């Protein structure tokens, strides 16, 4: 493959590492920068600090094109495009914390041949404020491009190499053209627009998907009252091509590093501008309540949870990741313990991360150890291995017989045939 333009990537988290490995796969030398010296050392030794299917193999295959350092000067010396992939976590007010972004901006030299390419999710208007900052510090020749990421944890490598679209917001200069050229081998639709609109595309996309999830969860709750089955309802809805089937899976609510943060950030952005985004308030409220509804299901069958043993199958916010940020298991484990229950849990990948965030829970080495002597079991994360469980063995190991399918991922008839009581989300009576 012919050599392509080298790039810099600032930040080696989910987005930064996948972006770096993806562009290396496309033929670019990539100069990765991170302030965490320990992480940089591990990356240089080939150790990947996150779990993401296919990423380790992609990095190993392109090892000679990937360079890791704590010093930004190497990236500046070799690359004119510097992709920014640092964290923008929510503050206590709900606004995005842009301190890491501003630290990157402040570290940039005076230059007429460099550009920052923003991959981090930032509020609309951030690009304009950064350009003002460049002007105030004599760096007005430094270019700026908004190029939001649309990577899903668990399928991020595939999403990079086969994207639905590439959004590029720029001022119509060389930097936007250079980013467009970098992405051209991927043969994806490119949306060239202004910087504010590119920033809004990311927030609006995630807010819409979160809205779909909260909507179908509301429908599921109504289905439980009317005897309808939300799985059948969603199937009928999803066949309408104006609606589509994706993100119509009812369950225990959404989590992760993106949806909760981006929905709150968009709501705050609107509020800071004097606009009350009423719909997103409801989306957030529905999601928080949904995570707690399983408590009602448990109490309906078991009565008081004091002294009861409850098993949790899965801890990560979704399958194929070890990410525990805003995971339903965090809320559920805390609520169960507050109600007097003993909680035992198993996740095939996320236990290490879970131990940092969850206290008072017994961690089991496998699914059958979780269900042993349990009065009830809750499927929290729909890992494939849970879908193929031997439910007869599960029933034999349990003390009780209640299985709550928090993701509607199991076959109700197979569960009932094993002698268990099945309770899904929105699956009627």
Distance CA 277, CA 279 (A): 6
**What DSSP string runs through 162-228?**
S-S-EEEE--SSHHHHHHHHHHGGG---EEEE-HHHHHHHHHHHHHHHHHHHHHHHHHHHHHHHHT-
Distance CA 257, CA 248 (A): 20
Distance CA 410, CA 377 (A): 13
Distance CA 170, CA 302 (A): 58
Please confirm, yes or no, whether 258 is among the known catalytic residues: yes
The helix (H) or strand (E) run that includes residue 259 is helix 259-272
Q: Name the DSSP class of 65.
A: G
* Nearby residues of 378 by Cβ (< 8 Å), 6 or more positions away: 294, 298, 310, 311, 312, 313, 332, 403, 404, 406
Distance CA 54, CA 42 (A): 18
Sign of the dihedral through C-alpha 350, 356, 358, 363: positive
Token pair listed for 155: 């399928």
CA 9 to chain centre: 20
Decide if 89 contacts 11 (C-beta within 8 A).
no
Query: What are the CA-CA distances from residue 199 to residues 97, 132, 276, 283 (Å)?
Result: 15, 17, 20, 21
Which neighbouring-strand residues pair with 68? 32
Q: Are strands 81-84 and 362-363 parallel, antiparallel or unpaired?
A: unpaired
Of the listed 32, 147, 223, 258, which one is catalytic?
258
**Backbone conformation region of residue 89, classed left if phi is above 0, alpha if psi is from -120 to 50, else beta:** beta
Three-state DSSP class for residue 276: coil
Residues that are catalytic: 258
């Amino acid at each position: 493959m012919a050599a392509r333009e080298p790039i810099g990537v600032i930040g080696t988290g989910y987005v930064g590492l996948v972006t770096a490995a993806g562009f290396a796969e496309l033929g670019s030398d990539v100069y990765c920068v991170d302030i965490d010296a320990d992480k940089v050392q591990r990356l240089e030794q080939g150790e990947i600090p996150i779990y993401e299917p296919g990423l380790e193999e992609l990095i190993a295959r392109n090892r000679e094109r990937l360079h890791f350092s704590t010093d930004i000067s190497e990236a500046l010396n070799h690359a004119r495009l510097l992709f920014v992939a640092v964290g923008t976590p929510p503050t206590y007010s709900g606004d995005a914390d842009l301190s890491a972004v501003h630290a990157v901006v402040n570290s940039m030299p005076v230059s007429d041949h460099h550009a920052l390419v923003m991959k981090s999710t930032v509020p609309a208007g951030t690009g304009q404020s950064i350009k003002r900052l460049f002007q105030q510090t004599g760096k007005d020749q430094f270019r700026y491009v908004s190029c939001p990421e649309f990577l899903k944890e668990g399928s991020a490598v595939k999403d990079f190499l086969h994207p639905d679209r590439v959004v590029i917001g720029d001022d119509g200069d060389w930097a936007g053209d250079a980013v467009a050229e970098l992405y051209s081998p991927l043969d994806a639709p490119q949306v060239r627009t202004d910087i504010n609109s590119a920033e809004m595309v990311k927030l609006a996309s995630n807010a819409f998907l979160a809205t779909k999830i909260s909507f179908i969860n509301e429908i599921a709750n109504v289905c439980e009252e009317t005897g309808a089955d939300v799985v059948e309802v969603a199937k009928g809805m999803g066949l309408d091509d104006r609606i589509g089937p994706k993100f119509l899976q009812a369950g225990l609510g959404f989590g992760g590093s993106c949806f909760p943060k981006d929905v709150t950030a968009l709501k705050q952005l609107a509020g800071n501008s004097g606009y009350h985004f009423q719909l997103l308030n409801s989306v957030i409220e529905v999601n928080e309540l949904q995570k707690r509804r399983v408590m009602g299901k448990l109490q309906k069958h078991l009565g008081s949870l004091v002294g009861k043993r409850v098993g949790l199958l899965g801890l990560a916010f979704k399958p194929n990741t070890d990410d525990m940020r805003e995971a339903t298991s965090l809320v559920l484990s805390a609520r169960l313990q507050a109600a007097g229950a003993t909680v035992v849990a198993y996740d095939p990948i996320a236990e290490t991360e879970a131990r940092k965030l969850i206290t008072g829970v017994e961690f089991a080495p496998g699914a059958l150890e979780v269900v042993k002597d349990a009065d009830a079991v809750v499927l929290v994360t729909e890992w494939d291995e849970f879908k193929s469980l031997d439910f007869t063995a599960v029933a034999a190991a349990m003390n009780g017989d209640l299985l709550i399918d928090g993701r509607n991922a199991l076959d109700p008839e197979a569960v009932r045939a094993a002698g268990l009581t099945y309770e899904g989300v929105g699956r009627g009576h």
